[in-house]
Protein backbone atom coordinates (compact mmCIF):
# COMPACT_ATOMS: atom_id res chain seq x y z
CA UNK A 1 0.00 0.00 0.00
CA UNK A 2 1.25 3.51 -0.92
CA UNK A 3 0.88 6.28 1.63
CA UNK A 4 -0.01 9.70 0.39
CA UNK A 5 2.71 12.04 1.86
CA UNK A 6 0.09 14.56 3.01
CA UNK A 7 -1.87 11.78 4.68
CA UNK A 8 1.33 10.60 6.42
CA UNK A 9 2.06 14.12 7.62
CA UNK A 10 -1.36 14.56 9.15
CA UNK A 11 -1.24 11.15 10.67
CA UNK A 12 2.07 11.99 12.36
CA UNK A 13 1.19 15.53 13.29
CA UNK A 14 3.91 16.01 15.87
CA UNK A 15 7.34 17.59 15.42
CA UNK A 16 10.37 15.76 16.84
CA UNK A 17 11.34 16.66 20.42
CA UNK A 18 13.74 19.64 20.02
CA UNK A 19 15.43 19.00 23.38
CA UNK A 20 16.72 21.70 25.74
CA UNK A 21 19.52 24.05 24.65
CA UNK A 22 22.89 23.60 26.36
CA UNK A 23 23.28 26.59 28.76
CA UNK A 24 19.60 27.46 28.31
CA UNK A 25 16.04 26.70 29.35
CA UNK A 26 12.97 25.56 27.46
CA UNK A 27 9.37 26.70 27.91
CA UNK A 28 6.59 24.57 26.43
CA UNK A 29 6.13 20.85 25.95
CA UNK A 30 3.64 20.46 23.13
CA UNK A 31 5.08 19.03 19.93
CA UNK A 32 1.72 19.22 18.09
CA UNK A 33 1.42 20.87 14.71
CA UNK A 34 0.81 24.60 15.29
CA UNK A 35 2.27 24.77 18.81
CA UNK A 36 5.34 26.77 19.79
CA UNK A 37 8.24 26.23 22.17
CA UNK A 38 10.42 29.05 23.54
CA UNK A 39 14.02 29.09 24.75
CA UNK A 40 16.00 31.39 27.01
CA UNK A 41 19.76 31.40 27.48
CA UNK A 42 21.15 31.20 31.03
CA UNK A 43 22.70 34.37 32.48
CA UNK A 44 25.98 35.26 30.79
CA UNK A 45 25.11 33.40 27.59
CA UNK A 46 23.76 34.82 24.34
CA UNK A 47 21.73 33.16 21.59
CA UNK A 48 24.11 32.90 18.64
CA UNK A 49 22.08 30.71 16.26
CA UNK A 50 18.51 29.50 15.94
CA UNK A 51 15.42 31.20 17.34
CA UNK A 52 14.03 32.05 20.75
CA UNK A 53 10.67 30.66 19.64
CA UNK A 54 10.09 27.78 17.23
CA UNK A 55 6.73 26.70 15.82
CA UNK A 56 5.74 23.29 14.55
CA UNK A 57 4.54 23.80 10.95
CA UNK A 58 3.60 21.79 7.88
CA UNK A 59 6.18 22.36 5.17
CA UNK A 60 6.22 20.52 1.86
CA UNK A 61 4.24 17.67 3.31
CA UNK A 62 6.36 17.29 6.46
CA UNK A 63 5.65 18.38 10.02
CA UNK A 64 8.79 20.32 11.03
CA UNK A 65 9.99 23.11 13.29
CA UNK A 66 10.18 26.40 11.40
CA UNK A 67 13.60 27.25 12.85
CA UNK A 68 16.58 25.70 14.60
CA UNK A 69 16.75 25.44 18.41
CA UNK A 70 18.47 28.42 20.08
CA UNK A 71 22.18 27.92 20.58
CA UNK A 72 23.48 29.61 23.77
CA UNK A 73 27.15 30.59 23.95
CA UNK A 74 29.29 32.84 26.14
CA UNK A 75 30.10 35.77 23.83
CA UNK A 76 33.56 37.18 23.12
CA UNK A 77 32.99 40.72 24.36
CA UNK A 78 30.03 43.07 24.41
CA UNK A 79 28.60 46.35 25.66
CA UNK A 80 26.70 45.68 28.89
CA UNK A 81 24.26 48.21 30.27
CA UNK A 82 22.08 46.25 32.72
CA UNK A 83 22.51 47.16 36.40
CA UNK A 84 23.96 43.71 37.07
CA UNK A 85 24.97 40.64 35.15
CA UNK A 86 27.48 37.91 34.52
CA UNK A 87 30.48 37.78 32.23
CA UNK A 88 31.88 34.39 31.24
CA UNK A 89 34.98 33.56 29.26
CA UNK A 90 34.02 32.31 25.77
CA UNK A 91 33.62 28.54 25.79
CA UNK A 92 32.36 28.51 29.42
CA UNK A 93 31.78 26.08 31.12
CA UNK A 94 34.44 24.46 28.95
CA UNK A 95 37.94 25.76 28.27
CA UNK A 96 38.44 29.00 26.37
CA UNK A 97 39.95 29.07 22.90
CA UNK A 98 43.41 30.15 21.82
CA UNK A 99 44.13 33.51 20.17
CA UNK A 100 41.20 35.38 21.71
CA UNK A 101 40.94 39.11 22.07
CA UNK A 102 37.59 39.86 23.70
CA UNK A 103 36.64 43.29 25.02
CA UNK A 104 33.69 44.09 27.26
CA UNK A 105 32.51 47.54 28.27
CA UNK A 106 30.26 47.72 31.31
CA UNK A 107 28.29 50.95 31.44
CA UNK A 108 26.44 52.06 34.56
CA UNK A 109 24.29 55.15 35.15
CA UNK A 110 26.41 58.31 35.48
CA UNK A 111 27.63 58.62 39.06
CA UNK A 112 27.36 54.91 39.80
CA UNK A 113 30.60 52.96 40.15
CA UNK A 114 30.68 49.30 39.15
CA UNK A 115 31.66 46.42 41.38
CA UNK A 116 33.07 43.22 39.92
CA UNK A 117 33.18 39.98 41.92
CA UNK A 118 35.22 37.05 40.67
CA UNK A 119 33.42 33.74 41.24
CA UNK A 120 35.91 31.64 39.27
CA UNK A 121 39.20 32.55 37.67
CA UNK A 122 41.87 30.32 36.17
CA UNK A 123 43.94 31.06 33.08
CA UNK A 124 47.35 30.07 31.78
CA UNK A 125 49.89 31.94 33.94
CA UNK A 126 51.53 34.89 32.15
CA UNK A 127 50.01 34.19 28.72
CA UNK A 128 46.24 34.44 29.03
CA UNK A 129 45.30 37.67 30.75
CA UNK A 130 42.29 39.69 31.79
CA UNK A 131 42.99 43.42 31.87
CA UNK A 132 40.57 45.62 33.77
CA UNK A 133 40.54 49.37 33.14
CA UNK A 134 38.74 52.13 35.00
CA UNK A 135 36.92 53.70 32.06
CA UNK A 136 35.29 52.97 28.73
CA UNK A 137 38.28 52.37 26.45
CA UNK A 138 41.64 50.63 26.28
CA UNK A 139 43.38 53.92 27.11
CA UNK A 140 41.60 54.24 30.50
CA UNK A 141 43.72 53.82 33.68
CA UNK A 142 44.68 50.22 34.37
CA UNK A 143 43.21 48.64 37.51
CA UNK A 144 44.94 45.32 37.07
CA UNK A 145 46.11 42.54 34.76
CA UNK A 146 45.05 39.15 36.05
CA UNK A 147 46.20 35.66 35.06
CA UNK A 148 46.73 32.26 36.62
CA UNK A 149 44.52 32.17 39.71
CA UNK A 150 45.63 35.61 40.84
CA UNK A 151 42.63 37.90 41.17
CA UNK A 152 41.25 40.05 43.94
CA UNK A 153 37.96 38.84 45.40
CA UNK A 154 36.31 41.98 44.04
CA UNK A 155 37.15 45.40 42.67
CA UNK A 156 35.27 48.67 42.26
CA UNK A 157 35.59 51.30 39.53
CA UNK A 158 35.77 55.02 40.20
CA UNK A 159 33.98 55.90 36.96
CA UNK A 160 30.67 54.50 35.70
CA UNK A 161 32.51 52.42 33.11
CA UNK A 162 34.74 49.38 33.23
CA UNK A 163 36.71 48.08 30.26
CA UNK A 164 37.74 44.40 30.29
CA UNK A 165 40.06 42.77 27.76
CA UNK A 166 40.62 39.01 27.74
CA UNK A 167 43.62 38.03 25.60
CA UNK A 168 44.88 34.51 25.06
CA UNK A 169 47.95 33.31 23.19
CA UNK A 170 48.27 30.46 20.69
CA UNK A 171 48.52 27.47 23.04
CA UNK A 172 47.42 26.12 26.41
CA UNK A 173 43.94 26.87 27.65
CA UNK A 174 42.07 26.66 30.95
CA UNK A 175 38.63 27.09 32.45
CA UNK A 176 38.69 30.91 32.23
CA UNK A 177 36.46 33.05 34.39
CA UNK A 178 33.01 33.71 35.73
CA UNK A 179 32.48 37.17 37.17
CA UNK A 180 29.48 39.19 38.32
CA UNK A 181 29.10 42.93 37.94
CA UNK A 182 26.66 45.26 39.65
CA UNK A 183 26.23 48.99 39.69
CA UNK A 184 23.34 49.32 42.12
CA UNK A 185 21.65 46.94 44.49
CA UNK A 186 18.05 45.91 43.88
CA UNK A 187 16.77 47.98 46.76
CA UNK A 188 18.27 51.08 45.18
CA UNK A 189 21.28 51.48 47.46
CA UNK A 190 24.17 52.63 45.35
CA UNK A 191 27.47 50.86 45.91
CA UNK A 192 29.06 54.33 45.88
CA UNK A 193 28.20 54.18 49.60
CA UNK A 194 30.82 51.44 49.89
CA UNK A 195 33.53 53.48 48.20
CA UNK A 196 32.70 56.64 50.14
CA UNK A 197 32.95 54.83 53.46
CA UNK A 198 36.16 53.16 52.41
CA UNK A 199 39.42 54.69 53.57
CA UNK A 200 41.70 52.10 52.08
CA UNK A 201 42.53 50.25 48.90
CA UNK A 202 41.34 46.73 48.22
CA UNK A 203 43.65 43.79 48.81
CA UNK A 204 46.01 44.00 45.81
CA UNK A 205 46.60 40.24 45.83
CA UNK A 206 49.83 38.26 45.84
CA UNK A 207 51.71 37.20 42.70
CA UNK A 208 51.72 33.51 41.82
CA UNK A 209 55.12 32.12 43.00
CA UNK A 210 55.74 35.21 45.11
CA UNK A 211 55.05 37.05 48.37
CA UNK A 212 53.70 40.44 49.38
CA UNK A 213 55.44 42.61 52.00
CA UNK A 214 53.02 44.94 53.73
CA UNK A 215 49.50 44.29 54.94
CA UNK A 216 48.30 47.89 55.36
CA UNK A 217 46.07 49.15 52.57
CA UNK A 218 45.29 52.68 53.84
CA UNK A 219 45.83 55.70 51.59
CA UNK A 220 49.57 56.34 51.31
CA UNK A 221 50.53 52.79 52.29
CA UNK A 222 53.20 51.04 50.26
CA UNK A 223 53.40 47.34 49.56
CA UNK A 224 56.27 45.54 47.86
CA UNK A 225 56.69 42.07 46.44
CA UNK A 226 59.33 39.40 46.05
CA UNK A 227 59.44 36.13 44.17
CA UNK A 228 60.27 32.56 45.09
CA UNK A 229 63.73 31.29 44.18
CA UNK A 230 64.05 30.89 40.40
CA UNK A 231 61.48 33.57 39.61
CA UNK A 232 62.00 37.23 38.73
CA UNK A 233 59.69 40.08 39.65
CA UNK A 234 58.31 41.83 36.54
CA UNK A 235 58.24 45.25 38.24
CA UNK A 236 60.14 46.03 41.45
CA UNK A 237 58.46 49.39 42.12
CA UNK A 238 56.22 49.45 45.20
CA UNK A 239 52.46 49.87 44.89
CA UNK A 240 51.06 52.92 46.65
CA UNK A 241 47.45 53.25 47.75
CA UNK A 242 46.35 56.51 46.15
CA UNK A 243 43.73 58.96 47.47
CA UNK A 244 41.13 57.51 45.05
CA UNK A 245 41.59 54.12 46.84
CA UNK A 246 43.24 52.59 43.79
CA UNK A 247 46.76 51.19 43.71
CA UNK A 248 49.31 53.26 41.78
CA UNK A 249 50.44 50.34 39.61
CA UNK A 250 49.29 46.91 38.56
CA UNK A 251 50.24 43.86 40.63
CA UNK A 252 53.60 42.59 39.30
CA UNK A 253 54.08 38.96 38.31
CA UNK A 254 56.84 36.47 39.06
CA UNK A 255 58.36 35.19 35.87
CA UNK A 256 60.53 32.12 35.81
CA UNK A 257 60.01 28.51 34.87
CA UNK A 258 56.69 29.28 33.24
CA UNK A 259 58.56 31.74 31.05
CA UNK A 260 60.95 29.02 29.87
CA UNK A 261 58.08 26.65 29.18
CA UNK A 262 56.55 29.46 27.20
CA UNK A 263 59.64 29.78 25.06
CA UNK A 264 59.14 26.19 23.96
CA UNK A 265 55.50 26.72 23.06
CA1 LIG B 1 47.21 30.23 26.41
| Interstrand relation of 78-80 and 101-107 (parallel, antiparallel or unpaired) | parallel
Q: Give distance in angstroms: CA of 67 to centre of ligand 1.
A: 36
Asked if residue 150 and residue 83 are part of one domain, the reply reads yes
- In Å, what is the CA distance from 187 to each residue of 47, 108, 183, 191, 240? 30, 16, 12, 11, 35
Q: Give distance in angstroms: CA of 57 to centre of ligand 1.
A: 46
Q: State the pLDDT at residue 242.
A: 85
Asked if residue 159 and residue 64 are part of one domain, the reply reads no
Asked if residue 248 and residue 189 are part of one domain, the reply reads no
Q: Give distance in angstroms: CA of 124 to centre of ligand 1.
A: 5
Asked if residue 84 and residue 160 are part of one domain, the reply reads yes
Q: Give distance in angstroms: CA of 60 to centre of ligand 1.
A: 49
Q: State the pLDDT at residue 194.
A: 46
Query: Tens of pLDDT along the chain (265 residues)?
Result: 455 555 544 557 999 999 999 999 999 999 999 999 999 999 999 999 999 999 999 999 999 999 999 999 999 999 999 999 999 999 999 999 999 999 999 999 988 999 999 999 999 999 999 999 999 999 999 999 999 998 888 899 988 999 999 999 999 999 999 999 999 644 445 444 444 445 778 778 788 788 899 888 888 899 999 998 888 998 899 999 888 777 888 888 888 764 444 444 5
Q: Give distance in angstroms: CA of 104 to centre of ligand 1.
A: 19
- In Å, what is the CA distance from 249 to each residue of 148, 209, 239? 19, 19, 6
Q: Give distance in angstroms: CA of 119 to centre of ligand 1.
A: 21
Q: Give distance in angstroms: CA of 44 to centre of ligand 1.
A: 22
Domain limit, last residue, from 172, 197, 222: 197
Q: State the pLDDT at residue 187.
A: 47
Domain count, the chain: 3
Give the CATH number, domain containing residue 114: 2.60.120.290
Q: State the pLDDT at residue 12.
A: 72
Domain limit, last residue, from 20, 43, 73: 73
Q: Give distance in angstroms: CA of 255 to centre of ligand 1.
A: 15
Q: Give distance in angstroms: CA of 152 to centre of ligand 1.
A: 21
- H or E segment and range at residue 14: none
Cis peptide before 93 (omega within 30 of 0): yes
The pTM score is 0.68
Domain limit, last residue, from 51, 73, 95: 73
Give the CATH number, domain containing residue 232: 2.10.70.10
Q: Domain range spanning residue 56?
A: 5-73
Q: State the pLDDT at residue 11.
A: 52
Q: Give distance in angstroms: CA of 75 to centre of ligand 1.
A: 18
Q: Give distance in angstroms: CA of 181 to centre of ligand 1.
A: 25
Q: Give distance in angstroms: CA of 100 to centre of ligand 1.
A: 9
Q: Give distance in angstroms: CA of 42 to centre of ligand 1.
A: 26
Q: Give distance in angstroms: CA of 257 to centre of ligand 1.
A: 15
Asked if residue 187 and residue 88 are part of one domain, the reply reads yes
Asked if residue 90 and residue 54 are part of one domain, the reply reads no
- In Å, what is the CA distance from 1 to each residue of 4, 47, 63? 10, 45, 22
Q: Give distance in angstroms: CA of 45 to centre of ligand 1.
A: 22
Q: Give distance in angstroms: CA of 258 to centre of ligand 1.
A: 12
Asked if residue 243 and residue 165 are part of one domain, the reply reads no
> What's the residue count for the chain?
265
154, 115 in Cβ contact below 8 A? yes
Amino acid sequence: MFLNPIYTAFRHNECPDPGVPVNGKRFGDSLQLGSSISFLCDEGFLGTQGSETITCILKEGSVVWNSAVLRCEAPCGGHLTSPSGTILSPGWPGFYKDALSCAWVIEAQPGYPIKITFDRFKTEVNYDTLEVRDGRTYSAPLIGVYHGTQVPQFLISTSNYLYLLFSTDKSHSDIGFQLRYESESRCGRSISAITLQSDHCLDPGIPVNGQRHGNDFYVGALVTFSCDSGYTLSDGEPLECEPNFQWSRALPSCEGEAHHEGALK
